[in-house]
Amino acid sequence: MNSRRNFLQKLAASVAAFPLLSVETLASIEQTGSLVQDGPPLRVAIMGLGSYGTRVAEAMKDCKRARLTGVVSGTPAKITSWQSKYNIPAKNCYNYENFDRIKDNPDIDAVYVITPNALHREHAIRAAKAGKHVICEKPMALNAKEGQEMVDACKKANVKLLVGYRMHFEPKTLEIVRMRKEGELGKILFFQGLSGFAIGDPGQWRLTKELAGGGALMDIGIYSINGARYMVGEEPVWVTAQETKTDPQKFKPGVDETIQFQLGFPGGAVASCLSTYSMNNLDRFFLNGSKGFAELQPATGYGPIKGRTNKGELTQPHMTHQTIQMDEMAAIIMDGKQAVVPVDGEEGLRDLKIIDAIYKAVATGKKVELKLL
Ligand code: NAD
């Protein structure tokens, strides 16, 4: 009896912490310690064993549904080290020349593309043609044209395309989305997104137009673009933008240092955002409604995310973002589960259309109309 009472008490606490989830899912969390219900595992090959690939691999050790079973890398020494660290058999290891052969490997369901931005398109399309589901890091591609080609290739190959938007599964973020959806914040008229950090080594690929496709906007400003959409809950219909550059040596032509941009939404809301590679401690979201407000700071770092609303501090528990993301993506791919905030290729494509429009607004000094729906 006691254990049943404890279970029900814990369940009630979970309902408060994760109000968007069904009671069945919450019961499963309490019983299994996971947000994800049982089912077949998603067996993933990580492509690009750099700093973020390593973070994802470490986080996947705690996954219930996703499993790291393969790697794709151009560096033989990294393959050897990952093999022993993550117990990956030699038959599941590929390089960039031979990885199309992954199509004959029944032990890999999905390829997670974690290479520099300019390589996402080619890598994702090759994985799709090999019949594997694709998870691709943000930004999904360099521009909307490339993004559309990726969406089309995955559709043609009948595989899913997901984008590594880890914040879409973050509990405090989802609580704000719930409050906004249920009208607790009233009519939304303003969002502010500040996304930036002071970038170091001037020789890195993030500061090379050919590999990064741009500058801070592609890398970090995209969090404010994406955040504005899921916080306001609408698709923007216009963009204005202004660029400032204080260090043209470090930030060469085509590599943006700082861009301020504004997004207009059909319901009348406006987003005012800053994207920069020159300022530290810029990771803040603020959403204002007629009945309340919500703020997150830090809003998109690896966490713990902190935030409050007009009702008080947000207390949802911290979970390693990449662990929960990969478990949820396993459920999306294997069970057809719907994410509360979508992470599919169309979602990535909309952000790319906004990025294209922001660069156009910077270049022309004019307001650019958007048609995302
Ligand atoms: P990184 O430089 O640490 O790793 C990139 C990897 O790609 C390296 O292992 C490198 O060897 C490999 N690579 C393959 N071909 C290459 C080539 N031609 N030139 C250079 N490198 C090549 O970069 P990272 O920080 O791991 O970023 C990789 C991707 O992940 C980027 O798209 C980035 O935006 C994304 N990312 C996402 C998050 C997130 O929180 N979602 C965080 C960091 C990075």
Q: Are residues 194 and 148 in the same domain?
A: no
The confidence score (pLDDT) of residue 39 equals 87
Q: Which atom of ligand 1 is nearest to the CA of 302?
A: 40
CB neighbour class for 335 (10 Å; exposed up to 12, middle 13-18, buried from 19): middle
Rounded to whole angstroms, how far apart are CA atoms 141 and 147? 5
Say how many Å lie between the CA of residue 327 and the centre of ligand 1: 22
Side chain identity at residue 73, one-letter code: S
Structural domain count, the chain: 2
The confidence score (pLDDT) of residue 38 equals 82
Partners of residue 93 on adjacent β-strands: 71
179 lies in some domain: no
Q: Are residues 273 and 351 in the same domain?
A: yes
Q: Are residues 207 and 353 in the same domain?
A: yes
Rounded to whole angstroms, how far apart are CA atoms 276 and 221? 7
- Of 88, 200, 215, the C-alpha closest to 142 is 215
73 lies in some domain: yes
235 lies in some domain: yes
Helices (H), 87-130: 120-129
Q: Are residues 161 and 196 in the same domain?
A: no
**Ligand 1 interacting residues, C-beta cut-off 6 A:** 48-53, 74, 114-117, 119, 137-138, 164, 166, 205, 211, 219
Rounded to whole angstroms, how far apart are CA atoms 320 and 318? 7
Whether the CB-CB separation of 294 and 307 falls below 8 Å is answered with yes
Q: Which residue's CA lies nearest to atom 43 of ligand 1?
A: 52
Q: Which residue has the tokens 């009896």?
A: 1
Strands 110-113 and 133-136: parallel
Say how many Å lie between the CA of residue 52 and the centre of ligand 1: 6
Rounded to whole angstroms, how far apart are CA atoms 162 and 136? 6
Residues 6+ apart with CB under 8 A from 150: 120, 121, 124, 125, 128, 134, 136, 140, 141, 161, 345
200 lies in some domain: yes
67 lies in some domain: yes
Length of the chain: 373
Q: Which atom of ligand 1 is nearest to the CA of 321?
A: 40
Q: Which residue's CA lies nearest to atom 8 of ligand 1?
A: 50
Mutation test residue for ligand 1: of 52, 150, 167, 205, the one with most atoms within 8 Å of CB: 52
Q: Which atom of ligand 1 is nearest to the CA of 205?
A: 20
Say how many Å lie between the CA of residue 113 and the centre of ligand 1: 9
The confidence score (pLDDT) of residue 36 equals 59
CB neighbour class for 194 (10 Å; exposed up to 12, middle 13-18, buried from 19): buried
Q: Are residues 199 and 266 in the same domain?
A: yes
Say how many Å lie between the CA of residue 23 and the centre of ligand 1: 38
Q: Which residue's CA lies nearest to atom 26 of ligand 1?
A: 52
Q: Are residues 238 and 97 in the same domain?
A: no
- Known catalytic residues? 138, 223
Q: Are residues 154 and 48 in the same domain?
A: yes
Say how many Å lie between the CA of residue 50 and the centre of ligand 1: 6
Q: Are residues 62 and 110 in the same domain?
A: yes
What CATH number did the domain enclosing 206 receive?
3.30.360.10
318 lies in some domain: no
Q: Are residues 95 and 242 in the same domain?
A: no
What CATH number did the domain enclosing 137 receive?
3.40.50.720
Rounded to whole angstroms, how far apart are CA atoms 121 and 288? 36
Last residue of a domain, one of 166, 199, 224: 166
Residues 6+ apart with CB under 8 A from 310: 185, 291, 292, 293, 294
Phi, psi of 211 (to 5 degrees): -95, -30
* pLDDT, block means (10 residues), the chain with 373 residues: 42 45 43 60 98 98 98 98 98 98 98 98 98 98 98 98 98 98 98 98 98 98 98 98 98 98 98 98 97 98 98 97 98 97 98 98 98 95
Q: Are residues 207 and 60 in the same domain?
A: no
117 lies in some domain: yes
Q: Are residues 140 and 41 in the same domain?
A: yes
Rounded to whole angstroms, how far apart are CA atoms 150 and 125? 6
Q: Is 272 helix (H, G, I), strand (E, B) or coil?
A: strand
331 lies in some domain: no
DSSP per-residue letters across 320-342: -HHHHHHHHHHHHHHH-PPPSS-
Domain region containing 233: 187-290+344-369
Rounded to whole angstroms, how far apart are CA atoms 67 and 69? 6
Q: Are residues 267 and 236 in the same domain?
A: yes
Last residue of a domain, one of 166, 197, 227: 166
Question: Does the model's pTM come out above 0.75?
Answer: yes
- Of 25, 26, 24, the C-alpha closest to 10 is 26
Helices (H), 271-337: 321-335
